Amino acid sequence: MGTVAVIGETVRVAAFGLAGALVRPAEDAEAVREAWRTLETHVAVVILTPRAAEALGDAVAGAATGGPLTVVMPD
């Protein structure tokens, strides 16, 4: 069974930890990219804030070809 990870601004992702998600707070683009690069292999789903998705750009599209399922929160 895979893990759910959430990447983005602390105020938007912190509560996901209460549901058992792996929370990776990231306040700027470099922190987002570092959180993405260091995801554990057992992560099956990644939820991104809109700002985190923007910071990752094409890296998210690449996830569709073998990486974790990636979704973006609505604004």
75 residues of the chain, pLDDT tens digit each: 689 999 999 999 999 999 999 999 999 999 999 999 999 999 999 999 999 999 999 877 655 567 889 999 999
Residues 22/5, Cβ–Cβ less than 8 Å: yes
- Closest to 26 in 3D by CA, of 10, 11, 6: 10
CATH architecture of the domain formed by 3-56: 3-Layer(aba) Sandwich (3.40)
**Which residues, including other chains, have CB under 8 Å from residue 21's CB and lie 6 or more apart?**
3, 4, 5, 6, 47
pTM above 0.75, yes or no: yes
**Angle at the Cα of 65 from the Cα atoms of 48 and 58, rounded to 5 degrees:** 50
- Closest to 52 in 3D by CA, of 69, 73, 22: 73
